[in-house]
Amino acid sequence: MRNLKYFLIKNKMIIIIISVILICAIAISIGVYAQITNRSAINSEKEENHDYEDLENNFDDMFTNTINKEATAKQEINYDEIIYCAYNIKEEKENYNIDAKIPFFKIENNITEKINKEIYDIFARTIINIVENSNEHTIFNLDYVVYVNNNILSLVIRCKYKDGSNPQRNIIQTYNYDIDNNKLVDINEIIGYKNLNKEDIQKTVFEKIKEENAQIKNISDQGYNVYIRNENDEIYKVDNTPNFFLGKNNYLYLVYAYGNNNYTSEMDLVIF
C-alpha cells in the first residue's frame, strides 16, 4: 500500500513537472512568435517608409512627357487618342529660354474643354507674355506625365519658372479624369478607390507639415531665407488638397507646391 501511495505521488509530481515544462515552452513560443511578428511589422513599416522616401526623391524624374499605363489600365484603349502634347515650344533668345511641352486633352466635351482652357490660361499665356514682354532673363521649362489606373487618367504638369532675379517657382497642376464617366475625380473618390482611411491621411499630412516646418525653422534660425509653412493653412485639410494624383503602382500623391502662388521652389509630398 505504501509503495502504491509513493508511486501515485511520484507520478503526480512527474505530471506537474511536465505540465510546467509545457506551459513554459508554450510561453516561450508565444514570446518568440510575438517578437518575430513585431520585428516583421517593424521591418515592413521601414521598407514602406523607405519606398515613400524613394518616391519623393525621384519625383522630378517622372516627368517624361509620356503616358504610362499601369497594370490595371484598360489595354484596349488607345490613350494617345485621349491626351497628347499640343504644343512643343523650344526657343532661346537674349531675354528668355523656353522649353515647354504642353499637354491637352484630344477628346472634346465640356469637361476636357474646361481643362484645356485652364492649362492654356495658366501656361500658354505665360509663355506668350514672356515672349512679348520679358525685360529680364527668364527661364521657363514645362513637362508632364500621364498615369492610367483602371478608368482614372491622371495628368500631372510641372513647370519650373525663373523670372529675372526672383527665386525659381516650381508649379504643379494635376487633373484626374474618369474616362468611363467623363468627369473629374475628387480627392474623396480617390481615397475610396484606394480603400484608405481619411482620418489617417489627415493625421499623416499634419505630422508631415509639422515635421517639415521644424526642420525649416532650424535652417531659418541660422540666418537662411527659407519658405515657412503656415501649419493652420486650410490647404492642409484633406478636402482642400490643391493637387493630387494616382501615380506608378497606384500610389496616391498629395502635392503641396507652394510655387503655384509664391516665388519658391519648395514643395511637400505626402504619399500613400
Q: Where are the domains of the chain?
A: 1-51, 59-271
- Angstrom distance (rounded) from CA 116 to CA 133: 24
Query: With left for phi above 0 and alpha for psi between -120 and 50, is residue 142 left, alpha or beta?
Result: beta
> What local confidence, expressed as pLDDT, does residue 217 receive?
82
- Angstrom distance (rounded) from CA 147 to CA 157: 12
CB 120 within 8 A of CB 143: no
Note the pTM of the prediction, 2 decimals: 0.81
Give 59-271's CATH code, choosing from 3.40.50.10490, 3.30.565.40, 3.40.50.12780, 3.40.50.10790. 3.30.565.40
Count of Cβ atoms closer than 10 Å to residue 123 Cβ: 22
- Angstrom distance (rounded) from CA 31 to CA 218: 43
DSSP β-ladder status, 83-92 and 252-257: unpaired
> What local confidence, expressed as pLDDT, does residue 218 receive?
81
Phi, psi of 11 (to 5 degrees): -65, -35
Q: Which residue has the cell 515635421?
A: 211
- Angstrom distance (rounded) from CA 7 to CA 178: 81
Could you list the mean pLDDT of each consecutive 10-residue stretch along the chain, which spans 272 residues?
48 58 59 50 47 92 96 91 97 96 97 98 97 94 97 98 96 97 96 97 97 87 84 96 96 98 96 98
Please choose, from the candidates 185, 179, 139, 147, the residue with its C-alpha nearest in 3D space to the C-alpha of residue 55: 147
> What local confidence, expressed as pLDDT, does residue 241 receive?
96
CB 240 within 8 A of CB 255: no
